Chain A
Amino acid sequence: MISDLASFFATYEENWASWWPQLLPAIWVTIKLTAASFLLALAIGFLLALGKLSRNRLLRAFATGYVELARGIPALAILFILYFGLLPVGIVLDAFVAGFIGLGMSGGGYFAEVFRAGILAVHKGQREAAASVGMTPFTSFRWIILPQAMRVILPPMMNLFISLLKDTSLCSLITAPELMLRAKDLAMMSFLPMHLFVLAGALYFLLAWPMSLLARHFERRMRRGYRAG
Protein backbone atom coordinates (compact mmCIF):
# COMPACT_ATOMS: atom_id res chain seq x y z
CA MET A 1 0.00 0.00 0.00
CA ILE A 2 2.65 2.45 1.05
CA SER A 3 4.91 1.37 -1.78
CA ASP A 4 1.97 1.88 -4.18
CA LEU A 5 1.59 5.41 -2.92
CA ALA A 6 5.32 6.01 -3.18
CA SER A 7 5.39 4.83 -6.75
CA PHE A 8 2.32 6.96 -7.53
CA PHE A 9 4.22 10.06 -6.48
CA ALA A 10 7.43 8.85 -8.08
CA THR A 11 5.63 8.99 -11.42
CA TYR A 12 5.16 12.73 -10.92
CA GLU A 13 8.87 13.14 -10.33
CA GLU A 14 9.71 11.24 -13.51
CA ASN A 15 7.33 13.26 -15.67
CA TRP A 16 7.60 16.64 -14.05
CA ALA A 17 10.17 18.00 -16.49
CA SER A 18 8.01 17.23 -19.51
CA TRP A 19 4.63 18.18 -17.96
CA TRP A 20 5.51 21.40 -16.27
CA PRO A 21 6.49 23.42 -19.36
CA GLN A 22 3.08 22.56 -20.82
CA LEU A 23 1.08 23.16 -17.69
CA LEU A 24 2.61 26.47 -16.65
CA PRO A 25 1.39 28.46 -19.68
CA ALA A 26 -1.96 26.72 -19.34
CA ILE A 27 -2.23 27.90 -15.74
CA TRP A 28 -1.51 31.39 -16.97
CA VAL A 29 -4.34 31.11 -19.50
CA THR A 30 -6.67 29.92 -16.74
CA ILE A 31 -5.74 32.93 -14.63
CA LYS A 32 -6.30 35.31 -17.53
CA LEU A 33 -9.63 33.67 -18.37
CA THR A 34 -10.72 33.99 -14.75
CA ALA A 35 -9.69 37.63 -14.52
CA ALA A 36 -11.29 38.62 -17.82
CA SER A 37 -14.57 36.82 -17.18
CA PHE A 38 -14.66 38.14 -13.63
CA LEU A 39 -14.32 41.73 -14.79
CA LEU A 40 -16.97 41.23 -17.45
CA ALA A 41 -19.33 39.51 -15.00
CA LEU A 42 -18.72 42.32 -12.52
CA ALA A 43 -19.61 44.99 -15.07
CA ILE A 44 -22.66 43.12 -16.37
CA GLY A 45 -23.80 42.27 -12.86
CA PHE A 46 -23.42 45.85 -11.66
CA LEU A 47 -25.43 47.27 -14.55
CA LEU A 48 -28.10 44.59 -14.19
CA ALA A 49 -28.42 45.32 -10.48
CA LEU A 50 -28.91 49.00 -11.25
CA GLY A 51 -31.45 47.95 -13.89
CA LYS A 52 -33.33 45.77 -11.44
CA LEU A 53 -33.43 48.62 -8.90
CA SER A 54 -34.33 51.21 -11.51
CA ARG A 55 -37.64 53.02 -11.56
CA ASN A 56 -37.82 52.44 -15.31
CA ARG A 57 -40.07 49.43 -15.96
CA LEU A 58 -38.41 48.50 -19.24
CA LEU A 59 -34.95 48.41 -17.67
CA ARG A 60 -36.31 46.41 -14.77
CA ALA A 61 -37.96 43.89 -17.08
CA PHE A 62 -34.83 43.52 -19.18
CA ALA A 63 -32.58 43.01 -16.16
CA THR A 64 -34.97 40.53 -14.57
CA GLY A 65 -35.26 38.58 -17.82
CA TYR A 66 -31.50 38.49 -18.24
CA VAL A 67 -30.91 37.24 -14.72
CA GLU A 68 -33.50 34.48 -15.08
CA LEU A 69 -32.02 33.35 -18.39
CA ALA A 70 -28.45 33.49 -17.15
CA ARG A 71 -29.33 31.39 -14.14
CA GLY A 72 -31.35 28.87 -16.11
CA ILE A 73 -28.98 28.25 -19.00
CA PRO A 74 -25.84 26.19 -18.36
CA ALA A 75 -22.66 28.17 -18.90
CA LEU A 76 -21.50 25.40 -21.21
CA ALA A 77 -24.48 25.95 -23.51
CA ILE A 78 -23.58 29.64 -23.74
CA LEU A 79 -19.97 28.75 -24.53
CA PHE A 80 -21.07 26.33 -27.28
CA ILE A 81 -23.46 28.90 -28.73
CA LEU A 82 -20.74 31.54 -28.87
CA TYR A 83 -18.00 29.26 -30.16
CA PHE A 84 -19.82 26.81 -32.43
CA GLY A 85 -23.26 28.34 -32.83
CA LEU A 86 -22.06 31.58 -34.35
CA LEU A 87 -19.91 29.86 -36.98
CA PRO A 88 -22.74 29.44 -39.54
CA VAL A 89 -23.46 33.17 -39.40
CA GLY A 90 -19.83 33.89 -40.09
CA ILE A 91 -18.79 34.99 -36.63
CA VAL A 92 -15.59 33.24 -35.65
CA LEU A 93 -14.57 33.88 -32.08
CA ASP A 94 -11.22 32.92 -30.65
CA ALA A 95 -11.67 30.23 -27.99
CA PHE A 96 -10.30 32.48 -25.28
CA VAL A 97 -12.58 35.34 -26.29
CA ALA A 98 -15.65 33.12 -26.57
CA GLY A 99 -14.70 31.63 -23.21
CA PHE A 100 -14.44 34.82 -21.22
CA ILE A 101 -17.47 36.42 -22.87
CA GLY A 102 -19.58 33.32 -22.23
CA LEU A 103 -18.51 32.95 -18.62
CA GLY A 104 -18.85 36.69 -18.07
CA MET A 105 -22.37 36.74 -19.50
CA SER A 106 -23.39 33.75 -17.45
CA GLY A 107 -21.68 34.97 -14.28
CA GLY A 108 -23.17 38.44 -14.70
CA GLY A 109 -26.59 37.07 -13.81
CA TYR A 110 -25.32 35.79 -10.48
CA PHE A 111 -23.30 38.92 -9.76
CA ALA A 112 -26.42 41.00 -10.39
CA GLU A 113 -28.24 39.29 -7.54
CA VAL A 114 -25.28 39.71 -5.22
CA PHE A 115 -25.01 43.42 -6.01
CA ARG A 116 -28.73 43.93 -5.70
CA ALA A 117 -28.91 42.21 -2.34
CA GLY A 118 -25.95 44.26 -1.12
CA ILE A 119 -27.47 47.55 -2.18
CA LEU A 120 -30.85 46.66 -0.69
CA ALA A 121 -29.22 45.67 2.58
CA VAL A 122 -28.30 49.32 3.22
CA HIS A 123 -30.99 50.87 5.42
CA LYS A 124 -33.11 53.48 3.68
CA GLY A 125 -32.30 55.98 6.42
CA GLN A 126 -28.74 55.98 5.13
CA ARG A 127 -29.95 57.22 1.77
CA GLU A 128 -32.28 59.75 3.38
CA ALA A 129 -29.46 61.16 5.48
CA ALA A 130 -27.37 61.51 2.33
CA ALA A 131 -30.22 63.23 0.51
CA SER A 132 -30.80 65.55 3.46
CA VAL A 133 -27.26 66.94 3.30
CA GLY A 134 -27.74 67.74 -0.37
CA MET A 135 -26.08 64.75 -2.01
CA THR A 136 -27.35 63.90 -5.48
CA PRO A 137 -28.42 60.28 -6.00
CA PHE A 138 -25.09 59.60 -7.71
CA THR A 139 -22.97 61.15 -4.95
CA SER A 140 -25.00 59.30 -2.36
CA PHE A 141 -24.58 56.01 -4.19
CA ARG A 142 -20.85 56.47 -4.64
CA TRP A 143 -19.91 57.65 -1.14
CA ILE A 144 -22.64 56.36 1.15
CA ILE A 145 -24.50 53.38 -0.32
CA LEU A 146 -21.84 51.52 -2.28
CA PRO A 147 -19.17 51.48 0.47
CA GLN A 148 -21.72 49.96 2.84
CA ALA A 149 -23.08 47.57 0.23
CA MET A 150 -19.55 46.36 -0.49
CA ARG A 151 -19.28 44.91 3.01
CA VAL A 152 -22.27 42.75 2.23
CA ILE A 153 -21.24 42.08 -1.35
CA LEU A 154 -17.60 41.17 -0.91
CA PRO A 155 -17.84 37.70 0.68
CA PRO A 156 -20.39 36.28 -1.81
CA MET A 157 -18.51 38.03 -4.61
CA MET A 158 -15.33 36.20 -3.66
CA ASN A 159 -17.28 32.95 -3.67
CA LEU A 160 -18.52 33.71 -7.16
CA PHE A 161 -14.97 34.50 -8.16
CA ILE A 162 -13.86 31.07 -6.99
CA SER A 163 -16.74 29.41 -8.86
CA LEU A 164 -15.75 31.32 -11.94
CA LEU A 165 -12.16 30.15 -11.59
CA LYS A 166 -13.32 26.54 -11.51
CA ASP A 167 -15.81 27.11 -14.33
CA THR A 168 -13.03 28.23 -16.65
CA SER A 169 -12.32 24.50 -16.97
CA LEU A 170 -15.46 24.35 -19.13
CA CYS A 171 -13.51 26.32 -21.70
CA SER A 172 -11.46 23.20 -22.37
CA LEU A 173 -14.52 21.97 -24.27
CA ILE A 174 -14.23 24.84 -26.72
CA THR A 175 -10.46 24.25 -26.98
CA ALA A 176 -9.26 27.26 -25.01
CA PRO A 177 -5.68 26.32 -24.17
CA GLU A 178 -6.23 26.37 -20.43
CA LEU A 179 -5.28 24.08 -17.60
CA MET A 180 -7.96 21.40 -17.97
CA LEU A 181 -7.41 21.01 -21.69
CA ARG A 182 -3.65 20.62 -21.26
CA ALA A 183 -4.16 18.14 -18.43
CA LYS A 184 -6.49 16.12 -20.63
CA ASP A 185 -4.05 16.19 -23.55
CA LEU A 186 -1.20 15.08 -21.33
CA ALA A 187 -3.37 12.38 -19.75
CA MET A 188 -4.16 10.93 -23.13
CA MET A 189 -0.58 11.05 -24.33
CA SER A 190 0.93 9.60 -21.19
CA PHE A 191 -1.89 7.14 -20.33
CA LEU A 192 -1.75 8.51 -16.79
CA PRO A 193 -5.26 10.03 -16.37
CA MET A 194 -5.32 9.60 -12.61
CA HIS A 195 -2.05 11.45 -12.21
CA LEU A 196 -2.91 14.28 -14.51
CA PHE A 197 -6.45 14.92 -13.28
CA VAL A 198 -5.41 14.73 -9.63
CA LEU A 199 -2.68 17.20 -10.49
CA ALA A 200 -5.12 19.47 -12.30
CA GLY A 201 -7.49 19.35 -9.35
CA ALA A 202 -4.65 20.22 -7.00
CA LEU A 203 -3.58 23.12 -9.18
CA TYR A 204 -7.12 24.55 -9.27
CA PHE A 205 -7.25 24.17 -5.52
CA LEU A 206 -3.96 26.00 -5.12
CA LEU A 207 -5.33 28.87 -7.19
CA ALA A 208 -8.64 28.99 -5.33
CA TRP A 209 -7.33 28.61 -1.78
CA PRO A 210 -5.52 31.97 -1.58
CA MET A 211 -8.72 33.53 -2.86
CA SER A 212 -10.78 32.18 -0.01
CA LEU A 213 -8.07 33.28 2.42
CA LEU A 214 -8.19 36.71 0.84
CA ALA A 215 -11.98 36.72 1.12
CA ARG A 216 -11.75 36.06 4.84
CA HIS A 217 -9.12 38.77 5.21
CA PHE A 218 -11.33 41.29 3.40
CA GLU A 219 -14.29 40.36 5.53
CA ARG A 220 -12.31 40.99 8.69
CA ARG A 221 -10.83 44.24 7.46
CA MET A 222 -14.12 45.60 6.16
CA ARG A 223 -15.84 44.82 9.43
CA ARG A 224 -13.44 47.02 11.36
CA GLY A 225 -15.26 49.98 12.82
CA TYR A 226 -18.53 48.60 11.66
CA ARG A 227 -21.16 46.16 12.72
CA ALA A 228 -23.59 44.99 10.07
CA GLY A 229 -27.30 45.56 10.69
Chain B
Amino acid sequence: MAALLRVDDLYKDFAGLKVLKGVSMTLERGHKTAIIGPSGCGKSTLLRCINYMETPTAGHIHLDGELFGETQNGGKYQRMSEKQLARQRSQVGMVFQGFYLWPHLNARDNVAIAPMKVRGMEKRAAYELADAMLEKVHMSHKRDEFPERLSGGQQQRVAIARALAQQPKLMLFDEPTSALDPELVGEVLKVIQELAAEGISMVLVTHEVRFARQVADHVIFLGDGVVVEEGAPDQVIGAPKHERLRSFLKQILEH
Protein backbone atom coordinates (compact mmCIF):
# COMPACT_ATOMS: atom_id res chain seq x y z
CA MET B 1 0.00 0.00 0.00
CA ALA B 2 1.19 3.48 -0.86
CA ALA B 3 2.37 5.82 1.86
CA LEU B 4 -0.29 8.19 3.20
CA LEU B 5 1.71 11.22 2.14
CA ARG B 6 4.49 11.45 -0.37
CA VAL B 7 6.24 14.70 -1.14
CA ASP B 8 8.56 14.49 -4.13
CA ASP B 9 11.34 16.96 -4.78
CA LEU B 10 9.38 20.06 -3.86
CA TYR B 11 10.52 23.54 -4.91
CA LYS B 12 8.90 26.81 -4.03
CA ASP B 13 9.94 30.29 -5.14
CA PHE B 14 8.34 33.50 -3.98
CA ALA B 15 9.07 36.16 -6.60
CA GLY B 16 12.56 34.85 -7.19
CA LEU B 17 13.23 33.98 -3.56
CA LYS B 18 13.92 30.26 -3.37
CA VAL B 19 12.27 29.00 -0.19
CA LEU B 20 12.19 25.26 -0.86
CA LYS B 21 14.96 23.69 -2.88
CA GLY B 22 14.02 20.09 -3.45
CA VAL B 23 12.38 18.63 -0.36
CA SER B 24 11.08 15.07 -0.24
CA MET B 25 9.37 13.24 2.57
CA THR B 26 6.96 10.38 3.16
CA LEU B 27 4.54 9.71 5.96
CA GLU B 28 2.98 6.34 6.72
CA ARG B 29 -0.51 6.01 8.14
CA GLY B 30 -0.68 6.72 11.84
CA HIS B 31 2.75 8.26 11.87
CA LYS B 32 3.78 11.70 13.09
CA THR B 33 6.48 13.77 11.55
CA ALA B 34 7.76 16.93 13.17
CA ILE B 35 9.49 19.56 11.07
CA ILE B 36 11.86 21.82 12.92
CA GLY B 37 14.27 24.50 11.84
CA PRO B 38 15.17 28.16 12.18
CA SER B 39 12.71 30.84 11.06
CA GLY B 40 12.79 31.37 7.34
CA CYS B 41 14.01 27.84 6.66
CA GLY B 42 10.84 27.04 4.71
CA LYS B 43 9.14 24.72 7.20
CA SER B 44 5.78 26.52 7.13
CA THR B 45 5.97 26.82 3.36
CA LEU B 46 6.57 23.10 3.07
CA LEU B 47 3.51 22.40 5.25
CA ARG B 48 1.39 24.86 3.27
CA CYS B 49 2.42 23.23 0.00
CA ILE B 50 1.18 19.87 1.24
CA ASN B 51 -2.46 20.98 1.01
CA TYR B 52 -1.80 23.49 -1.75
CA MET B 53 -2.33 26.60 0.37
CA GLU B 54 0.77 27.48 -1.60
CA THR B 55 1.22 26.10 -5.07
CA PRO B 56 4.66 24.45 -5.37
CA THR B 57 6.89 25.78 -8.12
CA ALA B 58 7.98 22.22 -8.90
CA GLY B 59 7.53 18.78 -7.41
CA HIS B 60 4.46 16.76 -6.58
CA ILE B 61 2.36 15.68 -3.64
CA HIS B 62 0.56 12.37 -3.33
CA LEU B 63 -2.04 11.79 -0.64
CA ASP B 64 -3.12 8.22 -0.13
CA GLY B 65 -1.70 7.30 -3.50
CA GLU B 66 -3.59 10.06 -5.27
CA LEU B 67 -1.91 13.02 -6.95
CA PHE B 68 -2.78 16.11 -4.89
CA GLY B 69 -3.65 19.51 -6.32
CA GLU B 70 -2.83 18.56 -9.86
CA THR B 71 -4.15 16.46 -12.66
CA GLN B 72 -1.87 14.48 -14.89
CA ASN B 73 -2.48 14.18 -18.57
CA GLY B 74 0.13 12.09 -20.32
CA GLY B 75 3.36 13.54 -19.00
CA LYS B 76 1.86 16.94 -18.29
CA TYR B 77 0.81 18.18 -14.90
CA GLN B 78 -1.85 20.83 -14.52
CA ARG B 79 -3.23 22.58 -11.44
CA MET B 80 -6.69 21.19 -10.79
CA SER B 81 -9.84 23.29 -10.58
CA GLU B 82 -10.71 24.99 -7.30
CA LYS B 83 -13.66 22.65 -6.92
CA GLN B 84 -11.58 19.50 -7.27
CA LEU B 85 -8.94 20.98 -5.02
CA ALA B 86 -11.56 21.74 -2.37
CA ARG B 87 -12.64 18.10 -2.39
CA GLN B 88 -9.06 16.97 -1.86
CA ARG B 89 -8.42 19.55 0.84
CA SER B 90 -11.37 18.26 2.82
CA GLN B 91 -9.27 15.14 3.47
CA VAL B 92 -6.56 17.18 5.17
CA GLY B 93 -7.10 19.10 8.39
CA MET B 94 -5.03 22.19 9.00
CA VAL B 95 -4.31 24.08 12.21
CA PHE B 96 -2.84 27.55 11.80
CA GLN B 97 -0.51 29.55 13.98
CA GLY B 98 -3.12 32.35 14.09
CA PHE B 99 -6.10 30.00 14.79
CA TYR B 100 -8.33 31.76 12.25
CA LEU B 101 -11.58 30.80 13.88
CA TRP B 102 -14.48 32.49 12.13
CA PRO B 103 -15.49 35.34 14.43
CA HIS B 104 -19.14 35.50 13.32
CA LEU B 105 -19.77 31.89 14.40
CA ASN B 106 -19.75 30.44 17.90
CA ALA B 107 -17.45 27.55 18.76
CA ARG B 108 -19.98 24.91 17.84
CA ASP B 109 -20.83 26.48 14.49
CA ASN B 110 -17.16 26.94 13.71
CA VAL B 111 -16.81 23.18 13.96
CA ALA B 112 -20.16 22.25 12.39
CA ILE B 113 -20.23 24.51 9.36
CA ALA B 114 -17.82 22.55 7.14
CA PRO B 115 -19.62 19.24 7.72
CA MET B 116 -22.85 21.03 6.75
CA LYS B 117 -21.69 23.12 3.83
CA VAL B 118 -18.95 20.87 2.45
CA ARG B 119 -20.30 17.41 3.12
CA GLY B 120 -23.98 18.34 3.14
CA MET B 121 -24.60 16.91 6.59
CA GLU B 122 -27.89 17.61 8.34
CA LYS B 123 -27.67 20.26 11.03
CA ARG B 124 -28.49 17.88 13.84
CA ALA B 125 -25.86 15.34 12.76
CA ALA B 126 -23.30 18.10 12.23
CA TYR B 127 -23.94 19.42 15.73
CA GLU B 128 -23.57 15.95 17.18
CA LEU B 129 -20.26 15.62 15.38
CA ALA B 130 -19.20 19.11 16.49
CA ASP B 131 -20.05 18.33 20.11
CA ALA B 132 -18.03 15.13 19.95
CA MET B 133 -15.04 16.97 18.49
CA LEU B 134 -15.29 19.77 21.07
CA GLU B 135 -15.36 17.08 23.75
CA LYS B 136 -12.11 15.70 22.36
CA VAL B 137 -10.37 19.03 22.78
CA HIS B 138 -12.03 19.61 26.19
CA MET B 139 -14.05 22.59 25.00
CA SER B 140 -17.62 21.31 25.40
CA HIS B 141 -18.30 23.83 28.13
CA LYS B 142 -17.57 26.72 25.76
CA ARG B 143 -19.46 25.52 22.73
CA ASP B 144 -21.83 28.52 22.65
CA GLU B 145 -19.11 31.14 23.06
CA PHE B 146 -17.90 33.29 20.21
CA PRO B 147 -14.16 33.22 19.47
CA GLU B 148 -13.50 36.70 20.89
CA ARG B 149 -14.60 35.45 24.31
CA LEU B 150 -12.08 32.60 24.29
CA SER B 151 -8.42 32.66 25.27
CA GLY B 152 -5.80 31.90 22.63
CA GLY B 153 -5.38 28.36 23.89
CA GLN B 154 -9.13 27.78 23.85
CA GLN B 155 -9.40 29.21 20.34
CA GLN B 156 -6.66 26.93 19.11
CA ARG B 157 -8.39 23.92 20.66
CA VAL B 158 -11.62 24.83 18.88
CA ALA B 159 -9.62 25.23 15.67
CA ILE B 160 -8.27 21.72 16.19
CA ALA B 161 -11.83 20.44 16.68
CA ARG B 162 -12.84 22.21 13.48
CA ALA B 163 -10.10 20.41 11.55
CA LEU B 164 -10.95 17.07 13.19
CA ALA B 165 -14.60 17.42 12.17
CA GLN B 166 -13.48 16.91 8.57
CA GLN B 167 -12.47 13.44 9.73
CA PRO B 168 -9.25 14.00 7.84
CA LYS B 169 -6.75 11.40 6.76
CA LEU B 170 -3.97 13.73 7.75
CA MET B 171 -3.60 16.66 10.15
CA LEU B 172 -1.22 19.52 9.47
CA PHE B 173 -0.16 21.72 12.38
CA ASP B 174 1.55 24.98 11.46
CA GLU B 175 3.31 26.22 14.59
CA PRO B 176 0.13 25.74 16.62
CA THR B 177 1.52 27.20 19.83
CA SER B 178 3.72 30.02 18.55
CA ALA B 179 1.07 32.71 18.96
CA LEU B 180 0.14 31.65 22.47
CA ASP B 181 1.09 33.09 25.82
CA PRO B 182 3.49 30.68 27.54
CA GLU B 183 0.95 29.57 30.15
CA LEU B 184 -1.51 28.51 27.42
CA VAL B 185 0.90 26.39 25.40
CA GLY B 186 0.50 23.33 27.61
CA GLU B 187 -3.23 22.84 27.09
CA VAL B 188 -2.83 22.84 23.30
CA LEU B 189 0.16 20.51 23.33
CA LYS B 190 -1.78 18.15 25.59
CA VAL B 191 -4.61 17.95 23.05
CA ILE B 192 -2.19 17.33 20.18
CA GLN B 193 -0.50 14.62 22.21
CA GLU B 194 -3.84 12.92 22.87
CA LEU B 195 -4.60 12.95 19.16
CA ALA B 196 -1.19 11.51 18.41
CA ALA B 197 -1.85 8.73 20.89
CA GLU B 198 -5.10 8.00 19.09
CA GLY B 199 -3.10 7.23 15.98
CA ILE B 200 -4.01 10.25 13.89
CA SER B 201 -1.47 10.87 11.15
CA MET B 202 0.14 14.28 11.41
CA VAL B 203 2.78 16.61 10.17
CA LEU B 204 3.73 19.16 12.77
CA VAL B 205 5.77 22.29 12.25
CA THR B 206 6.90 23.52 15.62
CA HIS B 207 9.39 25.46 17.68
CA GLU B 208 8.76 23.18 20.63
CA VAL B 209 11.65 20.82 20.18
CA ARG B 210 11.03 18.95 23.41
CA PHE B 211 7.44 18.40 22.43
CA ALA B 212 8.46 17.27 18.95
CA ARG B 213 10.68 14.67 20.55
CA GLN B 214 7.83 13.38 22.72
CA VAL B 215 5.11 13.25 20.15
CA ALA B 216 6.76 12.57 16.80
CA ASP B 217 8.18 9.32 15.49
CA HIS B 218 10.19 11.11 12.86
CA VAL B 219 11.89 14.51 12.88
CA ILE B 220 13.02 16.53 9.91
CA PHE B 221 15.44 19.41 10.38
CA LEU B 222 15.03 21.86 7.56
CA GLY B 223 17.72 24.44 6.86
CA ASP B 224 17.62 26.95 4.08
CA GLY B 225 15.05 25.05 2.03
CA VAL B 226 16.61 21.60 2.17
CA VAL B 227 16.43 18.65 4.54
CA VAL B 228 19.66 18.87 6.52
CA GLU B 229 19.05 15.93 8.81
CA GLU B 230 16.21 13.57 9.57
CA GLY B 231 15.53 10.47 11.55
CA ALA B 232 14.17 9.21 14.84
CA PRO B 233 13.63 11.98 17.40
CA ASP B 234 16.15 10.60 19.87
CA GLN B 235 18.72 10.54 17.15
CA VAL B 236 18.01 13.92 15.52
CA ILE B 237 17.37 15.85 18.71
CA GLY B 238 19.34 13.68 21.11
CA ALA B 239 22.42 13.06 18.98
CA PRO B 240 22.53 15.56 16.11
CA LYS B 241 25.18 14.98 13.47
CA HIS B 242 25.24 18.31 11.67
CA GLU B 243 26.80 21.39 13.14
CA ARG B 244 23.87 23.54 11.96
CA LEU B 245 21.37 21.37 13.78
CA ARG B 246 23.54 21.32 16.89
CA SER B 247 23.77 25.09 17.08
CA PHE B 248 20.03 25.40 16.36
CA LEU B 249 19.16 22.99 19.17
CA LYS B 250 21.57 24.69 21.52
CA GLN B 251 19.93 28.04 20.87
CA ILE B 252 16.39 26.66 21.30
CA LEU B 253 17.01 24.48 24.31
CA GLU B 254 18.84 27.18 26.22
CA HIS B 255 15.59 29.12 26.55
A contact residues vs B (CB 8 Å cutoff): 123, 125-126, 128-137, 139, 143-144, 147-148, 151, 225-227
- Of the candidates B83, B98, B162, the one whose C-beta lies within 8 Å of that of A133 is B162
Residues of A within 8 A of B87 (CB): 134
Docked pose: A139 CA to B117 CA in angstroms: 7
A132 and B118 contact, Cβ closer than 8 Å, known pairs A125-B100, A148-B103, A227-B103: no
Docked-complex contact B117 and A135, CB < 8 angstroms: yes
Residues of B within 8 A of A139 (CB): 86, 117-118
Residues of A within 8 A of B98 (CB): 125
Residues of B within 8 A of A130 (CB): 102
Docked pose: A43 CA to B118 CA in angstroms: 27
Which residue of chain B is the closest to A147 with respect to CB atoms? B104
Q: Which of B89-117 contact A (CB under 8 A)?
A: 89-94, 96, 98, 100-104, 106, 113-114, 117
Docked-complex contact B102 and A148, CB < 8 angstroms: yes
Instruction: State how many angstroms separate the Cβ of A126 from the closest Cβ of chain B.
Output: 6
A136 and B51 contact, Cβ closer than 8 Å, known pairs A128-B96, A143-B117, A227-B103: no
Docked pose: A111 CA to B164 CA in angstroms: 39
Indicate with 1 or 0, residue by residue over B74-93, a CB within 8 angstroms of chain A CB atoms. Answer: 00000000110011111111
Q: How many A-B residue pairs have CB under 8 A?
A: 78
Residues of A within 8 A of B104 (CB): 147-148, 151, 225-226
- Of the candidates B83, B106, B148, B163, the one whose C-beta lies within 8 Å of that of A132 is B163
Docked pose: A210 CA to B101 CA in angstroms: 35
A132 and B82 contact, Cβ closer than 8 Å, known pairs A125-B100, A148-B104, A226-B103: no
30 chain-A/chain-B pairs, Cβ below 8 angstroms: A123-B100, A125-B96, A125-B100, A128-B53, A129-B96, A129-B100, A129-B101, A130-B102, A131-B86, A132-B51, A132-B53, A132-B89, A132-B92, A132-B93, A132-B96, A132-B163, A133-B93, A133-B114, A134-B86, A134-B90, A134-B91, A134-B114, A134-B118, A137-B86, A139-B86, A148-B103, A151-B104, A225-B103, A226-B103, A226-B104
Docked pose: A151 CA to B102 CA in angstroms: 13
Indicate with 1 or 0, residue by residue over B217-239, a CB within 8 angstroms of chain A CB atoms. Answer: 00000000000000000000000
B146, CB-defined interface residue at 8 Å: yes
Docked pose: A154 CA to B106 CA in angstroms: 21
Docked-complex contact A136 and B82, CB < 8 angstroms: yes
Instruction: State how many angstroms separate the Cβ of A69 from the closest Cβ of chain B.
Output: 32
B166, CB-defined interface residue at 8 Å: yes
Which residue of chain A is the closest to B92 with respect to CB atoms? A132
Docked-complex contact B146 and A225, CB < 8 angstroms: yes
Docked pose: A135 CA to B82 CA in angstroms: 9
Which residue of chain A is the closest to B109 with respect to CB atoms? A143
Docked-complex contact A133 and B146, CB < 8 angstroms: no
B contact residues vs A (CB 8 Å cutoff): 51, 53, 82-83, 86-94, 96, 98, 100-104, 106, 113-114, 117-118, 146, 148-149, 159, 162-163, 165-166
Docked pose: A143 CA to B112 CA in angstroms: 12
Residues of B within 8 A of A143 (CB): 113, 117
Residues of A within 8 A of B103 (CB): 148, 225-227
Instruction: State how many angstroms separate the Cβ of B240 from the closest Cβ of chain A.
Output: 33
Docked pose: A74 CA to B13 CA in angstroms: 47
User: Nearest 5 pairs between A and B by C-beta?
Assistant: A134-B90, A225-B146, A133-B114, A132-B94, A129-B100
Docked pose: A123 CA to B147 CA in angstroms: 15
Which residue of chain B is the closest to A139 with respect to CB atoms? B117
Which residue of chain B is the closest to A222 with respect to CB atoms? B104
A144 and B94 contact, Cβ closer than 8 Å, known pairs A132-B163, A135-B118: no
Instruction: State how many angstroms separate the Cβ of A146 from the closest Cβ of chain B.
Output: 10
Which residue of chain B is the closest to A151 with respect to CB atoms? B104
Which residue of chain B is the closest to A129 with respect to CB atoms? B100
Docked pose: A148 CA to B104 CA in angstroms: 7
Q: Which of B82, B83, B103, B163 has the most chain A CB atoms closer than 10 A to its own CB? A: B103
Q: Which of B89, B96, B100, B165 has the most chain A CB atoms closer than 10 A to its own CB? A: B100
Docked-complex contact A131 and B53, CB < 8 angstroms: yes
Docked-complex contact A225 and B106, CB < 8 angstroms: yes
Docked pose: A123 CA to B83 CA in angstroms: 22
Q: Which of A123, A132, A136 has the most chain B CB atoms closer than 10 A to its own CB? A: A132
Residues of A within 8 A of B114 (CB): 133-135
Residues of A within 8 A of B166 (CB): 133-134
Instruction: State how many angstroms separate the Cβ of B3 from the closest Cβ of chain A.
Output: 22
